[in-house]
């Protein structure tokens, strides 16, 4: 048996009859863009997350761009974020001609070190963008306090953390604005690209709602310069079905994480931890090892899939290799050399976990 990194087929099989019926309904209707399934899914998201505004869009990357556009982010503005994330988080900042300013990470959680943020604030800072990396919420209370103190909005990048809780509240409901991705491999994944934006603020909410459809509220009247970032009805209908299983699947991820931790207890790797006031949904189960590259090569030889999220800190990426994007973040550099994500998906069995653990033990 070949072990996969994730198993999307198992999710589909579990919900096949409901998903197939939802797709068939749309094929019958032939209404593909922003139809009733989109508003229904948006309402489901509002209920599930307890937010006032939830809007589907075309991807997680677009969601981040829409949130930044809602703040009128422009040339020369600065955005404080983490350099240890998927490139999309800062790509959109740079696309809008603003400057990403990097706060180093906390080596225990891989999230933005909140103690590093305040010193980076200048008169040009327009937003703080924490990422709930691997599925665990960033230190939102501390970040919101800094945001309030300097009147700077906080945008949550929750692309890896749908359903994760922070002090009893779901992520996406805490920041001034929030974004997520429904990319197929995310813990709530569509059958193609999709994303969402969230806020409790009416001004930001209405702006994002219309920015995603060419800045237009009334047909052929354009109040703002927007983009085309609509959510397909097909994706919305599929996501609405999958959302009903999200909590069950997230809990199962947590159980698998515990199995991994037990198995790796006396092995010379650092397993991920979760702070006691929040939940972790383990979009990735990411360990640290001083001999990461050799361990990864060994696991691949044994047929165990594994991946590095992320090998290059964003300030070292060729696209951002400009003096204006540079940063000093030693914890990020170290993490990029040591992290290794193991197979993780809700339908993973105990035997699967044992296979991975055994292969790691063989290496040591």
Ligand X SMILES: *Cc1c(COP(=O)(O)O)cnc(C)c1O
Determine if 157 is a binding residue for ligand X (CB under 6 A): yes
Q: Does 164 bind ligand X (CB under 6 A)?
A: no
Least Å distance between CB 118 and ligand X?
23
Distance separating alpha carbons of residues 214 and 336, to the nearest angstrom: 38
Q: Which is nearer to ligand X, 13 or 185 (CB)?
A: 185
CA 361 → CA 6, 151, 345, 356, distances in Å?
22, 50, 21, 9
Nearer to ligand X, 177 or 353 (CB): 177
Burial annotation 294-315 (CB, 10 A radius, 16+ → b, else e):
ebbebbeeeebebebbbebbbb
Q: What is the CA radius of gyration of the chain?
A: 20
The 341-360 site mask, x for binding ligand X (CB under 6 A), equals --------------------
Question: In the window 116-145, what residues touch ligand X (CB under 6 A)?
Answer: 131
Q: Does 235 bind ligand X (CB under 6 A)?
A: no
Nearer to ligand X, 157 or 232 (CB): 157
Stretch that binds ligand X, among 16-24, 26-34, 72-80, 155-163 (CB under 6 A): 155-163
Q: Which is nearer to ligand X, 131 or 177 (CB)?
A: 131
262 burial via Cβ count (<10 Å: 0-12, 13-18, 19+): exposed
Tell me if 89 contacts ligand X by CB under 6 A.
yes
Residues 68-87, one symbol each (x = binds ligand X by CB under 6 A, - = not), give -----------------xx-
Q: Pick the closer one to ligand X by CB: 295 or 335.
A: 335
Asked if residue 200 lies in contact with residue 184, where contact means CB atoms within 8 angstroms, the answer is no
Partner residues linked to 285 by β-bridges: 342
- Report the residue number, 61 or 279, with the smaller CB distance to ligand X: 61
Instruction: State yes or no: residue 159 binds ligand X (CB under 6 A).
Output: yes
Q: What is the distance between the alpha carbons of residues 147 and 118, in angstroms, rounded to a whole number? A: 9
Applying CB under 6 A, which of residues 109, 160, 172, 173 lies at the interface with ligand X? 160
**Comparing C-alpha atoms, which of 60, 112, 121, 113 is closest to residue 88?**
60
Is residue 316 exposed (0-12), middle (13-18) or buried (19+ Cβ within 10 Å)? middle
Q: Which stretch binds ligand X (CB under 6 A): 8-16, 24-32, 156-164, 240-248?
A: 156-164
Q: Which residue is nearest to ligand X (CB)?
A: 60
Instruction: State the alpha helices, DSSP H only, in the chain.
Output: 8-29, 36-49, 60-70, 88-95, 140-150, 202-211, 233-243, 246-263, 292-301, 330-338, 350-363
Say whether residue 102 binds ligand X (CB under 6 A).
no
Interatomic CA distance for residues 342 and 306, integer angstroms: 5
Q: Which of 19, 79, 88, 335 binds ligand X (CB under 6 A)?
A: 88
Residue 248 phi, psi (nearest 5): -60, -45
Measure the CA–CA gap between 78 and 76, rounded to whole angstroms. 6
Instruction: Give 3 or 131: the residue with its C-beta nearer to ligand X.
Output: 131
# chain residues binding ligand X, by CB under 6 A = 15
CB of 298 to ligand X, least distance (A): 27
Stretch that binds ligand X, among 10-18, 53-61, 65-73, 118-126 (CB under 6 A): 53-61
CA distance 244 to 30: 25
Give the one residue of 11, 61, 109, 284 binding ligand X; rule: CB under 6 A.
61
Please give the residues from 177 up to 206 whose contact with ligand X meets the rule CB under 6 A.
Answer: 181, 183, 193, 195
Token pair of 186, please? 């995310």
Cβ 152 to ligand X shortest distance, Å: 20
Q: Which of 35, 37, 56, 60 binds ligand X (CB under 6 A)?
A: 60
Reading the block at residue 272, the tokens are 């991920």
The site for ligand X (CB under 6 A) is made up of: 59-61, 85-86, 88-89, 131, 157, 159-160, 181, 183, 193, 195
């Amino acid at each position: 048996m070949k072990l996969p990194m994730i198993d999307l087929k198992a999710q589909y099989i579990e919900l096949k009859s409901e998903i197939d019926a939802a797709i068939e309904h749309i094929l019958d209707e032939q209404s593909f863009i922003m139809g009733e399934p989109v508003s229904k899914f948006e309402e489901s998201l509002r209920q599930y997350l307890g937010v006032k505004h939830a809007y589907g869009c075309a991807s997680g990357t677009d969601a981040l761009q829409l949130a930044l556009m809602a703040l009128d982010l422009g040339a020369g503005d600065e955005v404080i974020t983490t350099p240890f994330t998927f490139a999309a988080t800062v790509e959109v900042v740079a696309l809008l001609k603003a400057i990403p300013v990097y706060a180093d990470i906390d080596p225990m959680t891989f999230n933005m070190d909140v103690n590093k943020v305040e010193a980076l604030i200048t008169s040009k800072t327009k937003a703080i963008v924490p990422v709930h990396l691997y599925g665990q919420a960033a230190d939102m209370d501390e970040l919101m306090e800094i945001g309030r103190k300097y009147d700077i909005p906080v945008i949550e990048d929750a692309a890896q953390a749908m359903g994760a809780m922070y002090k009893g509240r779901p992520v996406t409901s805490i920041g001034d604005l929030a974004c997520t991705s429904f990319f197929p491999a995310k813990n709530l994944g569509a059958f193609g690209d999709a994303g969402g934006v969230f806020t409790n603020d009416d001004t930001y909410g209405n702006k994002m709602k219309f920015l995603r459809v060419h800045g237009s509220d009334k047909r052929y009247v354009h109040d703002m310069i927007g983009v085309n970032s609509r959510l397909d009805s097909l994706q919305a209908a599929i996501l609405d079905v999958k959302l009903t299983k999200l909590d069950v699947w997230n809990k199962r991820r947590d159980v698998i994480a515990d199995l991994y931790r037990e198995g790796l207890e006396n092995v010379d790797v650092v397993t991920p931890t979760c702070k006691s006031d929040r939940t972790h949904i383990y979009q990735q189960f990411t360990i640290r090892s001083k001999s990461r590259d050799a361990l990864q090569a060994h696991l691949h030889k044994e047929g165990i899939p594994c991946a590095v999220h992320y090998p290059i800190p964003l300030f070292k990426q060729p696209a951002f290799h400009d003096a204006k994007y540079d940063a000093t973040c030693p914890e990020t550099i170290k993490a990029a050399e040591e992290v290794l994500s193991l197979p993780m998906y809700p339908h993973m069995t105990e035997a699967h976990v044992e296979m991975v653990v055994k292969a790691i033990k063989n290496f040591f």
